[in-house]
């Protein structure tokens, strides 16, 4: 299994377990995260949830090789649109977990991995870790309804800087901006995330979960109305010549030559 679930002392730990691929997120992994998150909602024996990655990195985001494979064997537009909506379902599933969620970030988190981190309630980062959104570098928009959470955390100007540049930002900068809640020495991020989870698990669960749900409802009230079409934007972007060029340039580790088509 490339995504695992363990429960101990009222804390559930979800682990991205594909270290040989730096936890690159396949469609199967995303579907499993969605299934696990949906199953945790309302689980009476769980009072807090930790999400972590095995190996050196939290996750390098979407599996580019799998993406290229889907491009080589295109589905119908209807099938492609349905597949493109999986990421947003994963985000909703994580945000919909009743219990407090803590993401332990280390190494690199980019693209979909950073989206997942922002869907959690809190983010603990190892010193030296870097996060970003690399979608623009392969010619696509940020989807998964993920713009809302990052704008909430760091504001529109800094969100534009992160998403439009595709750059990786160090944990210290992101802590100053508000995306990272706490930086800890490298190697201690899992222990700190578990300790924070234990603090929330010890509180009255009904009150904690009602407070979380209310805050999420207020802060994300307009997300669905504004971001419902980001999968369709992705479908448009992937039909262009710039997308094909961006994938090749990414593979060849060279600058792309983009035409706007």
pLDDT (tens place) for every residue of the chain, 261 residues total: 899 999 999 999 999 999 999 999 999 999 999 999 999 998 999 999 999 999 999 999 988 888 776 666 667 888 888 888 999 999 999 999 999 999 999 999 999 999 999 999 999 999 999 999 999 999 999 999 999 999 999 999 999 999 999 999 999 999 999 999 999 999 999 999 999 999 999 999 999 999 999 999 999 888 877 777 888 898 888 888 998 898 888 888 899 999 998
Cα distance between residue 93 and residue 40, in whole Å: 9
- For 15-41, letters b (16+ CB in 10 Å) and e give bbbbeebbbbbbeebbebbbebbeebe
Among candidate residues 233, 238, 236, 241, the one with its CA nearest the CA of residue 258: 241
Domains of the chain, each with CATH number or no CATH: 3-205 (3.90.226.10)
Two tokens at 138?
């392969």
pTM: 0.93
Which stretches within the chain are classed as H helix?
Answer: 27-40, 64-72, 77-84, 86-95, 112-119, 147-154, 156-165, 171-177, 189-201, 205-219, 223-227, 230-237, 241-252
């Amino acid at each position: 299994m490339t995504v695992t679930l363990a429960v101990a002392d009222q804390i559930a730990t979800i682990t991205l377990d594909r270290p040989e691929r730096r936890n690159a997120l396949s469609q199967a992994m995303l579907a499993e995260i969605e299934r696990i998150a949906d199953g945790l909602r309302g689980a009476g024996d769980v009072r807090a949830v930790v999400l972590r990655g095995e190996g050196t990195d939290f996750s390098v985001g979407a599996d580019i090789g799998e993406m290229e494979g889907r491009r080589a064997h295109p589905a119908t537009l209807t099938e492609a649109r349905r597949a493109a909506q999986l990421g947003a379902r994963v985000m909703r599933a994580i945000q919909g977990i009743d219990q407090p969620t803590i993401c332990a970030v280390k190494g690199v988190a980019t693209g979909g991995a950073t989206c997942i981190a922002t869907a959690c309630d809190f983010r603990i980062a190892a010193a030296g870790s870097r996060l970003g959104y690399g979608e623009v570098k392969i010619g696509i928009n940020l989807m998964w309804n993920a713009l809302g959470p990052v704008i909430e955390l760091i504001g529109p100007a800094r969100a534009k800087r992160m998403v439009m540049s595709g750059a990786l930002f160090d944990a210290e900068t992101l802590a100053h901006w508000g995306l990272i809640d706490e930086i800890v020495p490298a190697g201690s991020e899992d222990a700190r995330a578990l300790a924070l989870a234990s603090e929330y698990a010890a509180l009255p669960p009904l009150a904690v979960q009602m407070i979380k749900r209310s805050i999420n409802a207020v802060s994300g009230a307009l997300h669905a109305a504004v971001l419902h079409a980001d999968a369709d934007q992705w479908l448009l972007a992937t039909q262009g010549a710039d997308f094909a060029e961006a994938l090749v340039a990414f593979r060849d580790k060279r600058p792309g030559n983009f035409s706007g088509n």
